[in-house]
Structure 1
Amino acid sequence: MSYVSGFLIPVKIADKAKYIASAEASWPIFQKYGALEQVETWGEDIPPGKVTGFDLAVKLEEGEAVVFSWIKWPDKATADACFATMESDPAWANMDMPFDGKRMMWGGFETVFAS
């Protein structure tokens, strides 16, 4: 089955257009390295957490939204190979990242069910 790289990202609401432009610019690079799909979602209904929650996970600040994003790959090896190019492929150097990367969460997930 496929492999998914998932992300939670705090983004300033004022930077929504910049974030979307950055995501759109990254797609051809991810696709070049074998990504099958890239999905970017903007949080609209994020209830405040008491013990856990999207807001707590990214230490959401006033004036920010939570972005939930994922990239679908054919397998983990393809994802790992792509991410390994981030230091060597100059295409990544020009990417604008309009968010606080220190509060971004990410992880890799093996698909166990898909419909």
Structure 2
Amino acid sequence: MSYIDGFVIACPKANKDKFIEHAKMGDSVFMELGALRVVECWGDDIHEGHTTDFRMAVKAEEDEEVLFSWIEWPDKATREAAMATMTKWMNDPSKADPRMDPEKNPMPFDGKRLIFGGFTPVLDLKQ
């Protein structure tokens, strides 16, 4: 069964086009490392919660929108191999793919407020 990496980000609304370009460049690396699918979603109907919500989770400001994204991998082993490659790049930036270089492809959002995690699907309904 597939493996999913999920992400929630706050991004300035004014940076929507920059985010799309950043994602196109960076997400192509995930595809080359074995991802089956990468989906980037721009918030459209984010409700305010009483205890918690997406905006609170990433401390989104009034001028920011919440983004929800995921990467679908064929299995956890493929994801782990991809993450090992990316860790090597972080440890030796001279060998990194230039699309992942923050100077060549800067994040148009505050990466400190990005939340992410890996998930094992337990139910997958399809049409």
**Percent identity between the two aligned chains:** 49
| Aligned: 1:109 with 2:119 | yes
Deviation, 1:112, is 1.6
Deviation, 1:96, is 2.1
Deviation, 1:31, is 1.0
CA RMSD of aligned residues (A): 1.2
* TM-score of the aligned structures, taking structure 1 as reference length: 0.93
State the aligned residue count: 115
**How far apart are the structure 1 equivalents of 2:8 and 2:114?**
6
Deviating above 6 A after TM superposition, structure 1's stretches of 4 or more consecutive aligned residues are none
| Aligned: 1:90 with 2:100 | no
* TM-score of the aligned structures, taking structure 2 as reference length: 0.85
Query: Alpha-carbon deviations, 1:9-35, whole Å to 9, x = none?
Result: 000000000000011112221111100
**Partner of residue 49, structure 2:** 49
**Structure 2, unpaired ranges of 5+:** 90-94
**How far apart are the structure 2 equivalents of 1:43 and 1:62?**
13
**Partner of residue 16, structure 2:** 16
**How far apart are the structure 1 equivalents of 2:14 and 2:51?**
28
**Partner of residue 92, structure 2:** none
Q: Which moved more, 1:91-100 or 1:26-35?
A: 91-100
Deviation, 1:82, is 1.2
**Structure 1, unpaired ranges of 5+:** none
**How far apart are the structure 2 equivalents of 1:80 and 1:49?**
34
**How far apart are the structure 2 equivalents of 1:85 and 1:97?**
20
